[in-house]
Structure 1
């Protein structure tokens, strides 16, 4: 068997085996418990999910949550990258940015959610929460990637009078692009989870988090698990797409 074919099979089989194992444990636990109100079976959850996807309510909720995740992540990405560049190229800015990010990162996520749900509207609070939590994470990932560039190349560029703009585009971008997309993929997945959690606590209407909250209040565990499965699929799919785009761009570069 060719190494490339073997690698492709491995990339498919191992994740599939993990998924089957998870569903196997879930099914065994559900049948052992025997109480749908506490733990429905995978079949019951998927039956509810298939019923859900045939309604406009589900698709509206999915679209709203995905849109909030998308533009909140764009804000976090832009801020994280900007702060990382400031820290790299300005010592004065670095002395301000590093403590700020450390403080924001140290604040408990649940405290941020509870406070901002009170301060902002139900639709805006999840976005602000995601930006505050994700931005420091992306900042750390981006700064590490930027600092990994060989400092000798940086010094050589300065000696030969290379403009900062050219240094950024021709030295840093090609070297840090893989790390940027890797951080973006994991960050976006986490961002979706934060958005949905904040929507649930804020009882945001027409959102995946709102559907989860309603299912919990009404003790509809099949619906709760169905929406959870949908959120997992959405998160994994988005992360996979970002990684795919990142690999394509890196190869093209």
Structure 2
């Protein structure tokens, strides 16, 4: 609190030379008609603030500018999302929006005056000025959304709306916040310009036009200050709310839908069949004369593998033998190159590299793939599972603040907590010390609940710790 006055003075200090220069310029010109000084402008501004019509005038312009801005922002984001999902839509929209971005706003305003009249022209002008900037910003942001986390959420069967709220929107948000800092000012410029040309009764534009007719530069400068202040206030308010939507959307993602809606009704039957393998004799995973690889490159070929419910299989080949490629194929992330592959209906997976939603806590990351935060029993179970491997202090902080080993344990818990019929773990214990390794392996064994387990690992004790049968892709057995 003691620093705030100094901070305020520090921010105002750079303005002083400009005010001095303004005063000097007005003295040099020597005419208040051509150049009103800062004192005359300040007096006129005080007079404006005291007018009964001041708030109504500002409200008239603010309502139309805000309406055009919010409609443009919302529609631009929606169309960018649709275009990302359907490239044909993007190809159809982009040329027109690019042209709109280049057309002088004055030409658009003149046309709008002829089509819709002066009272609505400012809202439409603002819409047309803001829409292209927000559209292309959101479009660019969507290209940089982390595909690995999106892919992970897809493997866990997280519903699209939950994926968007938890991951896509927070990733897009920084781009939109940066763009908003520019387009808020652009909106006020376009809106007041439209009002100045159309001069609708009761608008800021009309008052500026009248000051021009009366050669009253003091009032012109006073209204300019009002516009600058309103633009700044709108920018600060909108950006502050927009920035908060990232955390809001992530919390909302835990309260809408279910991560595996399609399987909700069959969960009890599947759990019963896993506990009684004889009732479900078909393999959960089956590969026959399979070849796996990527982009036309064969990594492993001609092997057969059948994994029944309750089986534990360890892939212990050397690096580059195709262990990760096999797990990705079994998870449905890529097609088998030759032979046949029967994938599990509902795999859960811990990937070789970290794939967490960074701004969410450990509890939230697990809930995202498991259930709703409104379900007290589910929340309690998630905390209980995480507490087996993590200290209590690590459960509710963003996972970006956790160590590598703690992050790895969150991913192991997530893979075991999520509903499914097969658990796929790619080097799950690589960043853990010996004690944590044994503890994590015991956790996996406790919570498999009869599911098939396939693990890729170089660690020599994992076959023993996981009671797993080794399988070699090179030998096909």
TM (norm. structure 2) is 0.49
Cα distance, 1:244 vs. partner?
2.9
Instruction: Report the counterpart of residue 168 of structure 1 in structure 2.
Output: 164
Aligned match for 1:201, one of 197, 205, 211:
197
Instruction: Report the counterpart of residue 190 of structure 1 in structure 2.
Output: 186
Q: Which has the higher contact order (CA 8 A, sep 6+)?
A: 1
Cα distance, 1:107 vs. partner?
1.3
SS in 2 for 1:56: coil
SS in 2 for 1:61: helix
Instruction: Report the counterpart of residue 217 of structure 1 in structure 2.
Output: 213
Counting strand residues as a fraction of each chain, which structure ranks higher?
Answer: 2
1:141 partnered with 2:137: yes
Cα distance, 1:97 vs. partner?
1.6
Q: Please give the alpha-carbon distance, in whole angstroms, between the structure 2 residues aligned to 1:187 and 1:115.
A: 22
Give 5+ residue unaligned stretches, structure 1: none
Cα pair distance change 1:13/1:179, threshold 3 Å: farther
Q: Please give the alpha-carbon distance, in whole angstroms, between the structure 2 residues aligned to 1:143 and 1:133.
A: 17
Q: Report runs of 4+ in structure 1 exceeding 6 Å deviation.
A: 8-11
Q: Please give the alpha-carbon distance, in whole angstroms, between the structure 1 residues aligned to 2:143 and 2:238.
A: 23
Instruction: Report the counterpart of residue 224 of structure 2 in structure 1.
Output: 228
Superposed, 1:72-221 pairs within 5 Å as: 72-221=68-217
Cα distance, 1:127 vs. partner?
1.0
SS in 2 for 1:123: helix
Q: Please give the alpha-carbon distance, in whole angstroms, between the structure 2 residues aligned to 1:15 and 1:146.
A: 36
Instruction: Report the counterpart of residue 240 of structure 1 in structure 2.
Output: 236
Cα distance, 1:11 vs. partner?
6.5
Q: Please give the alpha-carbon distance, in whole angstroms, between the structure 1 residues aligned to 2:7 and 2:143.
A: 31
Aligned match for 2:58, one of 43, 48, 62:
62
Aligned match for 1:51, one of 30, 47, 52:
47
Cα distance, 1:14 vs. partner?
5.3
1:31 partnered with 2:33: no
Report the aligned-residue RMSD: 2.3
Q: Give the conservation status (yes or no) of the 8 Å contact 2:129–2:186.
A: no
Q: Please give the alpha-carbon distance, in whole angstroms, between the structure 1 residues aligned to 2:236 and 2:108.
A: 29
Cα pair distance change 1:249/1:78, threshold 3 Å: closer
> Number of paired residues?
249
Q: Please give the alpha-carbon distance, in whole angstroms, between the structure 1 residues aligned to 2:186 and 2:10.
A: 23
Counting helix residues as a fraction of each chain, which structure ranks higher?
Answer: 1
What do the CA deviations read for 1:15-63 (whole angstroms, capped 9, x no partner)?
A: 4233223222211211111111111001101101101111122221101
Q: Please give the alpha-carbon distance, in whole angstroms, between the structure 1 residues aligned to 2:133 and 2:7.
A: 28
